[in-house]
Each structure stands twice: as structure tokens, then as C-alpha cells.
Structure 1
Amino acid sequence: MADGSRMAAWEHWGAELKYRRELAGLTQNELGRRVFVSGGYIGQFEQAIRRPQLDVAIRIDEVLQTDGFFERAWRKLIDDKRYPDYFAAVAELERLATKICEFAPMIVPGLLQTPAYAHGIMLAGNPFAADEYIEEKVRARLERAHILKEATRPVYWAILHESVLRVPVGGPAAMAEQLKRIATLARERKMLVQVLPYAAGAYPVMGKMLALMEFEDAPPTAYTEGVYSGNLLDDPAVVKRAQEAYDLIRAASLSPEASLALIESAAEDYRRCETTT
């Protein structure tokens, strides 16, 4: 679905929500309380400023007794066939964000992954899957990275724990290529990258990935991920704490210049390893 058509469809989703809400005799605040979001968020859903999460769409159906209409429409618009339900809304929000800040504790963030690295990740998580399935998942991941190539790309800031540089996903050649890509994007000033070194010790949200997204016409969000699960957070107090955690990680990280030198040094180590095997 083209971006224009998708936006028009979300506007229809919001208009239908407003119509069904008013038909039920509920204010935005009253509906918000019943589905556990603020009345302001209901207003943003109705104006197509913010996309709801799947669980919110399901609760709206329950409260308004709309027989699954909003859930079905959500699934169609989010196009969850390419992504698991817990990540589909995040992929949608990435395309709308004006700024994305990510912290990666173990693997390269999806927006930065090369084909070989993404293949290594997918194969590790699906060792018995058919090649077609692996390639489909790799394509979906690489499609997300297109936002960094566009003229309207978001400001992108990535902090990588040093473990990301040292875990050899896909082998030495794949790692050398992956780290070179990150260094190239940084040198072309398409992103800012920092490395949190082992020497920094303990850090906030220990072992958890964290993504912060900002938007032109909507409040910021935070996203964290676990094993086959994810949490898209939009409560202002929780997002504020996530932003503070990210700031603490950033303060403990190497400078962008020192980080880039470490990344390029690690890439060179993998290239030497490749030539000696």
C-alpha cells in the first residue's frame, strides 16, 4: 500500500472510531479510560496523528461492541504478514519518525543490518526453516533500512554495546562487511554512532534493546524487546524514564570519533581473520 493510500486509510480508521464512539455516547476521555489510554490519545487516533497498538484496537472493539472491526482494519493497515504482531506497529512508526535513537546490547539494529548479517541472525533463530522463509524475513528487514537512504530520512543515533562488535554473526566476512557499512554511514553523516565499551560496566536497562522515536505531530514513544515479545510504550512518564536511561548510556559511551575508530579497527580484525582461514 502506498504511503498516501495508507494515510487515507488511517484517516478513515480514525473517522470511523469517532463515529462509533459518538454513537455509543462516549467522550474521548471516557473511551480512553475504558481502553486504558488517555483521552488525548483517542483524539490523536481519530485525527490519524498516532497509530494505536493492536491491543488497544482490540479493546476498542470490546468497548464499542464493533465485532472486531477495528482489529481487522488494524491488521490490514499494518500489514503484519511481514512482521510479528508485536513489531508491526514499530515498523510503521519508523517510517513516520523524525528522530530515532537506538541502543543495541548484543546485535546490530535492524535498520543497519547488511544482507549477510541479517541472514545469519534469521538462520540462527530459525535453524529448521526453509530457505524461502529465511529470505523473505531478510527482505522484510532490509526494506526497513530504506528510510535511511531517503532525503527525508530521520535523524538516526545508534549506541552499540561493544558486544555487538565482538559477536561474529555470519562469520568474519559478514562481520567485516557489516561494520564497514556502519562506519560508512557514520562517515557520510547519515547517522551518529557510539560504542558503550565493556569497561563501562553496568548500565541502565541492562541487556535490553531500547528504541526512542520522535514525531512531528505526535508525542514520542519508546520500544523495548524481549524473547518473541515487544513493548511499545507511549505513557509520557515511562517514555521520559526511557529517555533518561538512554542519556545515561550515551554519557558512558565513547565519543563518536573514538567509537568510529573502534568499529573500523574491529572490521579490520575480521578482514585479517578472513584472509588467514
Structure 2
Amino acid sequence: MAGKNLDPSSSPRALLGAELRVARERAGMSQAELGEPLFVSGSFIGQLETGTRRMHLEFARQIDEILDTNGFFARNCAAAAKSKYPDHFAEAAEAEALAKTIRDYAPQLIPGLLQTEAYARAVCRAYQPTAPEQVIDELVESRLARASLLVDPTTPLLWCVFDEAVIRREVGSREVMAEALRHILALVRSHRIIVQVIPFSAGAHAGMMGLLKLMSFDDAPPLSYAEGNGTGQLFDDPATVARHVLNYDLLTASALSPRESLTVIESAAKDYEHA
């Protein structure tokens, strides 16, 4: 292993994780034993091995030293770190692609997994009003690529809770909004996703601080992701994840039922179409 490099074109993070597992087992160490000198948990090492988490250079150098891998992980760390997503969201997006269940709370915008091309373009242009068209095209392309995980009819389970502002705020144009809401309705009616709406009448609720994403996996501990203006953080600390799970449960309790939510979204789509 020490004399080769990973092929950046073939899922480098997954390959790097697989090589880490081989090197760790060859050294006769458990995940917890490898994590101890790195001051991380055994579950974090497991997430590196499954490709759920990104291996940063500082960890790669220490792993090379501990496992005596002749600089392999440091050399290949850069290839595994490359991402088409913004830095603050890259790890969350890549973990999302491996998740068994995804639960999203959206306070202002339709979640990226559910956006149409026209809606995504309007959002990206609003964020970067002076960016060249090529930059916007690349941002839209990467956002739409995330939705490919919905091609599978059953996995992952996607449950979204929207604040009513998501469907009432006109993004792009009335035509863009009508198309975006019809797209969500089609996914709900095909039983591919679950959607709930928190109405304005609910008043204050547990999600007013910002976007929240929860992810669970078959072979790794759950993660949560919280995002602000141009910032985001992925969490694996059990206490933090548990607190975020509670927040999400409170949000679903404040929301309309899925059937009632479907009616509200349908009504909003008609309003945009006929106004």
C-alpha cells in the first residue's frame, strides 16, 4: 500500500476509508485504539473507514505515523478532500449520499434535494448576483446531482418539514414556484418522500434558529448538520445529535399532518398558477 496512490476518479474517499480499515486491522488495532492518540472516538474512525467523514490532512499525517504507512494517507488526503460543494456543506452532502434516512427542516428555502433546476438557479443567482453564468451553471448542476439519490424508490427515507415561508416566498417567479411545488407534490403522491408544513399560525417553534438535517446510516453512528449564513457544521457528538433529534421531533409536533400539508402545498401551487 505504501507505494501506490489512489485514483482520484474512482470514489477516492471510499477507497481511502477502505485502505484505512486494512491498515488498521493489519496493525492489530481496534477503531477505539486508533482513535485514542488522535483524540477522536472509535465511531469517528468508523466514519472515516466508511467514507461518511472526510479525512483531513492533520489526521492523515498522524495516521501514517501510527500505522507506519509511509505517508500514504497524507499523499492521498487531497484527492479525497476534493468536493464540488461549498466547504461548509461538503461533508454533509457526501454523508447524505450514504444515509439510510434523511430528515430535513427547511426554514426559508425548498431543500436542495427537492429543488427544480429553475428554482435552484434563482437561489444560486440570489446568493451570487455578480457571478459569471458558468459559476451559476456549476452550482446548479452540483445541486441537482444530489437529487439522484431519490432515483431509488425506497432508500433513503426522506422526511422534510417546511416552514410555511418556504412555500409562500416567491423565488424566481410565480411560474418557477408553481413548478417547484408541483415537483414536491409529485414526489409525495408517489410515496417517495414525506413532507409536513409548519403553518404561520403555529407561532414560535423549535426550528426558528435555522436549517437542520439529521442522517442515519446502516454501519455508522447518526450525524446532524446545522447551517447558518454561509456556515455549517456536521455533528457526531451523541448528546448534540440527540438534542437535534428532539428539536426535529418538536418540529413535527408543531407541523400539520402530511395530508393537511399536501392540501396547503396544492393550494399554494394553484395560487401561483392562477394569480
TM-score range, shorter chain: 0.7 to 0.9
- Where structure 1 has 5 or more consecutive residues not aligned to the other structure, the ranges are none
2:17 to 10, 17, 29: 10
Report which stretch shifted further, 174-183 or 148-157.
Answer: 148-157
Residue 141 in structure 1 maps to residue 176 in structure 2: no
Match in the other structure for 2:79: 76
Match in the other structure for 1:153: 155
Distance 1:86 1:113 in 2: 20
Identity over aligned pairs, percent? 40
Distance 1:71 1:185 in 2: 43
- Where structure 2 has 5 or more consecutive residues not aligned to the other structure, the ranges are 1-8
Contact 1:103–1:246 under 8 Å retained in 2: yes
The CA deviation at 1:30 is: 6.2
Match in the other structure for 2:253: 251
Distance 2:71 2:153 in 1: 38
Match in the other structure for 2:52: 51
Distance 2:202 2:169 in 1: 18
The CA deviation at 1:60 is: 1.5
Deviation per residue, 1:253-275 (Å, 9 max, x gap): 000011000001001111112xx
SS in 2 for 1:91: helix
1:219 to 203, 221, 233: 221
Report 1:1-277 matches (<5 A). 1-2=9-10, 7-16=14-23, 18=24, 29=32, 32-33=35-36, 35-42=38-45, 44-45=46-47, 48-49=49-50, 51-53=52-54, 57-61=56-60, 63=62, 70=73, 73-80=76-83, 82-151=84-153, 153-273=155-275
Distance 1:108 1:171 in 2: 14
Distance 2:71 2:112 in 1: 32
Deviation per residue, 1:207-264 (Å, 9 max, x gap): 3100100111111110111122111001111101100100000001000011000001
Distance 2:74 2:140 in 1: 27
| TM-score of the two chains, using structure 1 as the length reference | 0.85
| TM-score of the two chains, using structure 2 as the length reference | 0.86
Contact 2:188–2:194 under 8 Å retained in 1: yes
Cα distance 1:189–1:152, how it changes in 2: closer, same or farther (>3 A)?
A: closer
SS in 1 for 2:196: strand
**How large is the Cα RMSD of the aligned pairs?**
2.6
